[in-house]
Structure 1
Amino acid sequence: MEFYNFKKDIGVNITKFDSNFVMSRIVRTVNATHIGFMYLDPDGIIGFHQATMPQLLLVVSGSGVVRGESEEYFKVEPGTAVFWQKGEWHETKTDRGLTAFVIESEELNPGSYMAKVET
């Protein structure tokens, strides 16, 4: 399990085409990629299971905890990205609710775009 940061303060200010916004880069893929958005209500859980392919969870709102193969849980909040390799056991749960994007692709390499966070 690896943690990354996609918070606004690590993004890049974009001014091209008279734009004015901050972009936090996530990933780039060439092959098929599944992108979904998850809504976990209070006391919601994504049960303990193996990742069927490399998977990146990007927390947008709320908070919760995640774990990998060990029973140690790590707090996640908006701006936290968690990456699991194919076959890695993992779980996500929340007391108050959480929303997140999930990106699944055989070629994910979030470290090529995002800053890794040491846990």
Structure 2
Amino acid sequence: MELYRFDQACGKKISQFNSDFIMSRIIQLNGTAHIGCMYLEADGVVGYHQAVTPQILLIITGEGKVRGENNEYIKVQAGDAVFWQKGEWHETITSHGLTAMVIESEELSPSLFMTTK
């Protein structure tokens, strides 16, 4: 399991085309990808299972805990990203709820764009 950041502090100011915003790069893909949004209510759980493909979990709101194969829970919150390799056992839990984007693809290399936590 690898932990990354994608919060505003990690981003770059974009001013092209009269723009004024911060962009935190996450990933670039050329192949097939599955992208979804997960909504975990209070006491929500994504049960302990093996990753079918490399995947990254981007915490958008709320907070929770994740664990990998070492069974140690690590707190995550908005702006954190968790990366699991294919076949890696993992789980996500939350007491108060969280919303997260999940990207699954054989081509994930978050270390090319994001800062480690």
TM-score (norm 1): 0.97
* Equivalent residue letter for 2:72: E
CA distance in 2 between partners of 1:59 and 1:21 (Å): 20
Q: Equivalent residue of 2:35, what SS?
A: strand
Q: Paired residue for 2:77?
A: 77
Q: Paired residue for 2:105?
A: 105
Superposed CA RMSD in Å reads 0.4
* Equivalent residue letter for 1:95: S
Unaligned runs of 5+ in 2: none
Deviation at 1:44, TM superposition (A): 0.2
Q: Within 5 A, what are the aligned runs for 1:108-119?
A: 108-117=108-117
Q: Paired residue for 1:31?
A: 31
Unaligned runs of 5+ in 1: none
User: Where in structure 1 do 4 or more consecutive aligned residues deviate above 3 Å?
Assistant: none
Task: Kindly indicate whether residue 109 of structure 2 is the aligned counterpart of residue 96 of structure 1.
Answer: no
Q: Paired residue for 1:40?
A: 40
CA distance in 1 between partners of 2:45 and 2:29 (Å): 28
Identity of matched residues, % = 56
* Equivalent residue letter for 1:23: M
CA distance in 2 between partners of 1:71 and 1:112 (Å): 27
Task: Kindly indicate whether residue 17 of structure 2 is the aligned counterpart of residue 17 of structure 1.
Answer: yes
Q: Within 5 A, what are the aligned runs for 1:42-81?
A: 42-81=42-81
The count of corresponding residues between Structure 1 and Structure 2 is 117
CA distance in 1 between partners of 2:5 and 2:71 (Å): 23
Q: Equivalent residue of 1:53, what SS?
A: coil
User: What are the Cα deviations for residues 84-105 of structure 1, in whole angstroms up to 9, with x where unaligned?
Assistant: 0000000000000000000000
Deviation at 1:20, TM superposition (A): 0.2
CA distance in 2 between partners of 1:23 and 1:49 (Å): 32
TM-score (norm 2): 0.99
CA distance in 1 between partners of 2:83 and 2:76 (Å): 12
